[in-house]
Amino acid sequence: MREKTRLKAIRFPESLVRDLGKYVRQGKQSEFIIRATEEALLRLKQAEALKEAHGLFKPDEYPEFRDRESTEKWVRNLRQEADKRVSGWSEREK
C-alpha cells in the first residue's frame, strides 16, 4: 500500500532545478527528491543518536571501546568468530 502524500511547496535555487532536470528524467524527479531527503534525514538522525550515546560506554566497563585500536580489534574478533561459525555450517552440509 502506498503511503499517503502531501503537497509541499519548496523553493529551490534555479541552478539546482536545472541540474535536476538534466540528470533526472521527468516523472522521476519527485521520487529522487524524496529519496535524497530520506537519506539526509537518516544521517541527521544517526548523528543525533551518536551524540546521545556519547559517553555511554565507559572505558573501565567496556575496554573494547576504549580507543579506535581496541574497537577495531574487537570487530575483527567478532568477524573471525562469525566466519568460523559459517564455515562450520558448510562443513556439516557436506
27-69 confidence digits (pLDDT tens): 999 999 999 999 999 999 999 998 998 888 888 899 998 889 9
Closest CA to 33 of 7, 53, 70: 7
Q: Where are the domains of the chain?
A: 11-54, 56-94
CA neighbours within 13 Å on the CB side: how many for 8?
7
Contact 57, 45 (CB under 8 A): no
- Determine the Cα–Cα distance for residues 32 and 38; give it in Å rounded to an integer: 10
- Determine the Cα–Cα distance for residues 37 and 42; give it in Å rounded to an integer: 8
pTM over 0.85: no
